[in-house]
Structure 1
Amino acid sequence: MSLHLDHVTVRYGATTVLDEVSLTVPDGEIVGLVGESGSGKSTLAKAVVGLAPVHSGSIVLDGQPLRHRGRRRPIQMVFQDPFSSLDPRMTIGESIAEAIPERLSRADRRAEIARLLELVHLDAGRADQLPRQLSGGQRQRVALARALAGRPRLVIADEVTSALDVSVQGAVLNLIREMQRELGLSMLFISHNLAVVRYVASQVAVLEGGRIVEHGATTDVLERPQHDYTRQLLAAVPGGHPIPNKEIRA
């Protein structure tokens, strides 16, 4: 399902955080959004899910205005810190079950939880565990399973690997690519890490000071940047640029 932002502006008082941002996430594709801290990336994500006030412009999903009310929401968000996004008092199964929109029998609900855990490569037995009993990478997989439980038409992933050890980042990225291929997910993937964005995204938009300064096919933007800000981001990548496009190992 395609998402389209048309000249979206977000203001807090006299401060403009997003300034007439236009961006499209095509059906079945992953679009990367990159920029430094404070560039407005998370504000854009919050505007899409209804957590930030849109001063002007429009946000539509498949040509229809987004509705944020109701139990079943067409867009789900996965946050940076998987521990804070899960209730520490609820088991993994309870957290996932809370996001399942339909009223199912206990047996059907447990079967759906098991299916979702297996989808993110976790054993169904994890359903009875608490978040503190899981590693950071496992908790992020649970957060993905919880987002998918709502059967969204689009997922927003906001810095989902930045809080993880480097040793487990690759496994989560491989999982995201696998889910996109198998489920045909549309995703807005937000990150400050250009190597990560290149690995998962077919398109990338560069956000500076609340404005998109460059947008195009990921390979074109990262190998032949046209804007000075994009060049600065690339220059800050360890090892310089261009960023190698190679398989990230789990």
Structure 2
Amino acid sequence: MSALVFDSVSIRYGTAGSAATIVRSSSLEVPYGRIVGLVGESGSGKSTLAKAAVRLVEPFEGRVTLGGHDIRSLPRGSRPIHMVFQDPFSSLNPRMSVGESIAEAIRPGRFNRAGRGREVERLLELVQLDPRLAHVLPHEMSGGQRQRVALARALAAEPKVVVADEMTSALDVSVQGAMLNLIKALRSALDLGVLFISHDLAVVRYVCDEVAVMQGGVIVERGPVEQVIDDPQHPYTRALLAAAGHESEVVNRRGPQE
């Protein structure tokens, strides 16, 4: 199966006597070449579920598979699932140049030194950055540029799936729109699966093919994004839509540009 699959995953924090279950029996599929949104309030468990995909946490029930294989059986050092976080500055080494940060994520032995340099340039162009930026440090870049670098670093590992955890929420609206268009373009060009975590339903509607809604650690509704947002079946989904009030500028613009 060409997908990242969460199969009845439950995640618990703490010891046996004081454990708190954060995610309960949640199932979700992220096919290659599709963008699947995961929405819910803060504390709903969506980021915790995503962390199970990159083994930052381990389920105590259920399993996570990629391409039909349990992720725990994947070769050590392989990174077929990569996570991009909300704050790119904290995920980039401030003492390493942009090029060094991206090159570090390239699989060892994949290229010689010259080839690694060319690959870094290719990845920067892929995320629509000038290859000459390979020599600058993260603090010399804008927030939008740093997030593109974080995405290039993720793609350097040649992943099948990227987990985007609120990766556009800290960006200005115009920059956010350009990033969303880039994610959609990369999805198509690379047959990339994307698990897109967000609290912004307008953004999810614009960028995602499907969406799952999480409440209290449980996925309460999922389906094609237009179906779920235009005709929500669960009271919690309807409450989220009512709380959103109106759609953001991102989806009210035709073809948002940076």
Query: Which bin holds the TM-score, normalised by the shorter protein?
Result: over 0.9
Provide the rounded CA distance (Å) in 2 between the counterparts of 1:46 and 1:226.
28
Sort the Cα spacing of 1:244 and 1:74 in 2 relative to 1 into closer, same or farther, 3 A.
closer
Are the equivalent residues in 2 in contact too, given 1:5–1:58 (CA < 8 A)? Answer: yes
Q: CA deviation at 1:183?
A: 1.1
Provide the rounded CA distance (Å) in 2 between the counterparts of 1:240 and 1:81.
24
Range 65-74 or range 178-187, more displaced: 65-74
Range 120-129 or range 46-55, more displaced: 46-55
Describe the SS at the equivalent of 2:169.
coil
Are the equivalent residues in 2 in contact too, given 1:206–1:212 (CA < 8 A)? Answer: yes
Which contiguous aligned blocks of 4+ residues in structure 1 show a shift greater than 2 angstroms? 67-72, 238-241, 243-248
Instruction: Pick from 77, 82, 97 the counterpart of residue 76 of structure 1.
Output: 82
Specify the alignment match of 2:141 in structure 1.
134
Specify the alignment match of 2:204 in structure 1.
197
Q: CA deviation at 1:74?
A: 1.1
Matches within 5 A, 1:85-234: 85-103=91-109, 104-234=111-241
Provide the rounded CA distance (Å) in 2 between the counterparts of 1:69 and 1:236.
44
Describe the SS at the equivalent of 2:64.
strand
* Mapped pair 1:15 → 2:20: yes
Q: Please tell me the residue identity of whatever aligns with 2:120.
A: I
- Deviation readout 1:7-57 (Å, 9 max, x if unpaired): 100001321000000111122111000001000011011111101121110
Provide the rounded CA distance (Å) in 2 between the counterparts of 1:245 and 1:225.
21
Provide the rounded CA distance (Å) in 1 between the counterparts of 2:133 and 2:172.
21
Provide the rounded CA distance (Å) in 2 between the counterparts of 1:71 and 1:35.
32
Provide the rounded CA distance (Å) in 2 between the counterparts of 1:187 and 1:240.
22
> TM-score w.r.t. structure 2 length?
0.92
Provide the rounded CA distance (Å) in 2 between the counterparts of 1:132 and 1:70.
32
Describe the SS at the equivalent of 1:31.
strand
Provide the rounded CA distance (Å) in 2 between the counterparts of 1:246 and 1:167.
10
Instruction: Pick from 47, 54, 69 the counterpart of residue 49 of structure 1.
Output: 54
Q: Please tell me the residue identity of whatever aligns with 1:139.
A: R
Q: CA RMSD in A?
A: 1.7
Q: CA deviation at 1:70?
A: 2.4
Identity of matched residues, %: 59
State how many pairs are aligned. Answer: 249
Specify the alignment match of 1:6 in structure 2.
7
Range 117-126 or range 52-61, more displaced: 52-61
Sort the Cα spacing of 1:92 and 1:211 in 2 relative to 1 into closer, same or farther, 3 A.
same
Describe the SS at the equivalent of 1:178.
helix
Q: Please tell me the residue identity of whatever aligns with 2:79.
A: R
Q: Please tell me the residue identity of whatever aligns with 1:60.
A: T
**Structure 1: runs of 5 or more not aligned:** none
Range 20-29 or range 109-118, more displaced: 20-29
Sort the Cα spacing of 1:75 and 1:25 in 2 relative to 1 into closer, same or farther, 3 A.
same
**Structure 2: runs of 5 or more not aligned:** none
Decide which structure has greater helix share.
2
Q: Please tell me the residue identity of whatever aligns with 1:9.
A: S
